[in-house]
């Protein structure tokens, strides 16, 4: 999918290129809303605007107010088939979900603007099916530690001092609550001696 600027502002989020003046106004107003009410970082706001740019490009830059439910359904189908321009691979489920969530959030905001009339429940149609959301959750769980690897890390930790026992309890808690491997390694690295950090990393 094209039409999405790769530039990211540092001092202020960038407004995506638009051919519709009304869309430009809505994008500016929405950016101001995100900055003033959501307290988001600049890069995060840029991600929201890039999602809207992708959607607007798909719609041929038609005014946002003219979009109907069947357009949203077509956009979702196109997103499922879209590829990442950097590697040519299909978009991850995480990228798909976040893009659609940001577009849906925009339409929830737009639906409350004075004088804007949209089809009822249109923002809700940006959500993926429960099956797809469950698959995305499963993908995330797939990055968790296996039991054997988690047990190996836990068993290798020293336990001779009260501080060691506390550290083992913290790591055990992390394992039991399903923390991901990168986060667990980072946590262990802050609690253990340099030599042990080198061993497990």
User: What is the model's pLDDT at position 184?
Assistant: 54
Q: How many independent structural domains does the chain possess?
A: 2
Instruction: Tell me the residue ranges of DSSP E strands in the chain.
Output: none
Does residue 122 fall inside a structural domain?
A: yes
Q: Clarify whether residues 111 and 175 are in a common domain.
A: no
| H or E stretch covering 12 | none
Q: Clarify whether residues 152 and 187 are in a common domain.
A: yes
How does DSSP assign 104-160, residue by residue? HHHHHHHTTSTT----TTGGGGGSPPHHHHHHHHHHHHTTBPPHHHHHHHHHHS--S
Identify the domain containing residue 57 by its residue range. Answer: 21-141
Q: Clarify whether residues 86 and 166 are in a common domain.
A: no
Q: Clarify whether residues 127 and 156 are in a common domain.
A: no
User: What is the model's pLDDT at position 120?
Assistant: 86
Does residue 127 fall inside a structural domain?
A: yes
Q: Clarify whether residues 136 and 163 are in a common domain.
A: no
- pTM check: above 0.75: no
Which residues of the chain are modeled with pLDDT < 50? 1-10, 140, 143, 192-201
User: What is the model's pLDDT at position 13?
Assistant: 63
Q: Clarify whether residues 136 and 59 are in a common domain.
A: yes
Residue labelled with tokens 């890069």: 43
| pLDDT digits 0-9 by tens, 17-26 | 777 888 999 9
User: What is the model's pLDDT at position 137?
Assistant: 56
The rounded distance, in Å, linking the Cα atoms of 83 and 157 is 43
Q: Clarify whether residues 127 and 161 are in a common domain.
A: no
Q: Clarify whether residues 131 and 151 are in a common domain.
A: no
The rounded distance, in Å, linking the Cα atoms of 112 and 117 is 9
User: What is the model's pLDDT at position 91?
Assistant: 73
With a CB cutoff of 8 Å and minimum separation 6, the contacts of 133 are 97, 127
Does residue 167 fall inside a structural domain?
A: yes
User: What is the model's pLDDT at position 21?
Assistant: 86
């Amino acid at each position: 999918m094209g039409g999405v600027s790769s530039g990211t502002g540092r001092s202020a989020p960038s407004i995506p290129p638009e051919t519709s003046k009304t869309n430009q106004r809505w994008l500016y107003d929405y950016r101001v809303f995100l900055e003033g009410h959501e307290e988001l970082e600049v890069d995060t706001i840029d991600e929201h605007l890039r999602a809207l740019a992708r959607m607007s490009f798909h719609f041929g830059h038609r005014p946002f107010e003219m979009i109907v439910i069947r357009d949203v359904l077509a956009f979702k189908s196109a997103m499922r088939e879209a590829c990442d321009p950097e590697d040519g691979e299909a978009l991850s489920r995480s990228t798909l979900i976040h893009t659609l969530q940001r577009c849906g959030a925009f339409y929830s905001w737009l639906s409350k603007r004075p004088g804007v009339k949209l089809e009822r429940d249109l923002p809700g149609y940006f959500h993926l099916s429960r099956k797809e959301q469950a698959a995305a959750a499963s993908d995330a769980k797939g990055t968790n530690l296996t039991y054997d690897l988690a047990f190996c890390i836990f068993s290798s930790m020293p336990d001779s001092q009260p501080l060691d026992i506390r550290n083992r309890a913290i790591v055990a808690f992390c394992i039991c609550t399903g923390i991901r491997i990168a986060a667990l390694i980072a946590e262990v690295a802050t609690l253990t001696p340099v030599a042990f950090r080198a061993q497990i990393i």
